[in-house]
Amino acid sequence: MNYVDRQMHRVAVELASKLPRLAEGESIDPPVWAVRPRKDGNYRAYKDGVYWGTTGRKTEAGANEWLRTMLLQQEADEDGVFDVRRVSVAVVIEARKKAVVKKGLLGAKVIVSTLKAIEEHVNKLQLRHLTDDKIGQVDTAMAAEGYSRDTIVNAVRFLRTAIRQYTKKEHGATYLPFDAPPSPKGRTTVVTDAQRDRVKRLAAAAFDPDSGLSDKQRRDFEVAYMELLLGMVFGSRPGAYHMLAWEEHGEGGWLDLDGATFHRVPPGAATPSNKAAPPVDIPEEILPELRLWKARAAGSPWVFRTLRGGPLSQREQQVIFKDVMAAFGLGRITGHMLRHTCISRMIRKRCTGPEISSVCGVSIETLYRRYGHFDRRAVQQLAHSAMADAMGEMQVAA
């Protein structure tokens, strides 16, 4: 056998490997398909004389058209021919959630929770439905549900990443049906002094025995007021209040009133660098207020409590705060707005970058990116120490 014959034989072997396995009883003859009517008027499909399924058609012409289309689709599946636009969005999202968890990505929990936020708006769609107009509708719907601009933008961006990863892996070609949303501009909304004082005034009813409030209303007003103070004073993320206690424990942060320190995570616990939560000193002026809170806890170890004295979940805190702010006519105020207000006030007071970072756990990069809309000279002070060190020690001529 010469070289050409060997190559031809090799090609023939490769082609034969794609055919049915004759030695294992598979047939090399193609199946015989037919359609036959039933008494109810519907046509059924038969494969080699055996019932295969209904066509759902009531005419022979319609049934044969259905059969031809079905066989072409089967052939497309066998040859890997597929229209990626018809992939279910739910399948893509589920694949991405599993992938980030399996890879152990640092932000896996955030990615999964953010994808869940957008999932209910798109899980019944195919990729071909995700036009720019549709994403605009999803944006509007999520905003109406109270999601922040950051969350909505991240949800759309995470969805784009999920689609890109899935289509590239499964079909070898990237498919992105809609544009990425623009990054949100620096936050410009803060809690005004008037709004702060309104919350303080209305929440005072929680401590008035003659207010006529129910136990639940008292608790809700108190929760809203406590979150207002902790957010405005310490610039904490709302997540820091989960399992917040009066004594040291291993499941969450604690308020050390004797040591005048707010531990926002269990001592020794590690946090991602972009979500730092350093312990922070409690101002002397705030300590009396916090001691009153502890006294009202009546022995419960938890700062934010259920009516039975147990720990109030972060989700329950968020719902209560949102509902109380709405009842006070301040529905736009959120827990993150309190943090933003704290940082903004520090910038206006000419605090340095390290000072702001040590209190609020925010990076210098974020201060520039998100808070640059405030007095530019104030923000520039965050870099003055680095600017002064650029030339090292200077010797000034006499």
> If you write DSSP's letter for every residue of 192-245 in order, what string do you get?
-HHHHHHHHHHHGGGG-TTS---HHHHHHHHHHHHHHHHHHHH---GGGGTT-B
Q: What is the DSSP letter of 393?
A: S
Report the mean per-residue pLDDT for the chain. Answer: 83
Same domain assignment for residues 361 and 222: yes
Is 144 contained in some domain? yes
Q: What is the CATH number of the domain that holds 267?
A: 1.10.443.10
- The average pLDDT across 371-398 equals 50
The HSE-up count of residue 394 (CA atoms within 13 Å, CB side) is: 8
Same domain assignment for residues 149 and 286: no
Q: Which of 79, 99, 114 delimits the end of a domain? A: 79
Residue 257 reports pLDDT greater than 90: yes
Same domain assignment for residues 113 and 197: no
Task: Provide the pLDDT confidence category of residue 394 given band limits of 50, 70 and 90.
Answer: very low
Same domain assignment for residues 376 and 326: yes
- pLDDT number for residue 384: 53
Is 359 contained in some domain? yes
Residue 301 reports pLDDT greater than 50: yes
Look up the pTM and report it.
0.52
Same domain assignment for residues 41 and 157: no
What CA–CA distance (Å, rounded) separates 341 from 330?
15
Is 66 contained in some domain? yes
Is 132 contained in some domain? yes
Same domain assignment for residues 216 and 325: yes
pLDDT cut 90: percent of the chain above it: 36
The HSE-up count of residue 335 (CA atoms within 13 Å, CB side) is: 22
**Domain count of the fold of the chain:** 3
Helix (H, G, I), strand (E, B) or coil at 167: helix
Is 160 contained in some domain? yes
Same domain assignment for residues 225 and 285: yes
Same domain assignment for residues 53 and 113: no
Same domain assignment for residues 99 and 229: no
What CA–CA distance (Å, rounded) separates 306 from 42?
61
Same domain assignment for residues 92 and 69: no
Range of the domain at 155: 86-171
Task: Provide the pLDDT confidence category of residue 81 given band limits of 50, 70 and 90.
Answer: low
Is 285 contained in some domain? yes
Same domain assignment for residues 215 and 320: yes
Task: Provide the pLDDT confidence category of residue 183 given band limits of 50, 70 and 90.
Answer: low
Is 130 contained in some domain? yes
**Range from 57-61, 165-169, 209-213, 365-369 carrying the lowest mean pLDDT:** 365-369
Task: Provide the pLDDT confidence category of residue 392 given band limits of 50, 70 and 90.
Answer: very low
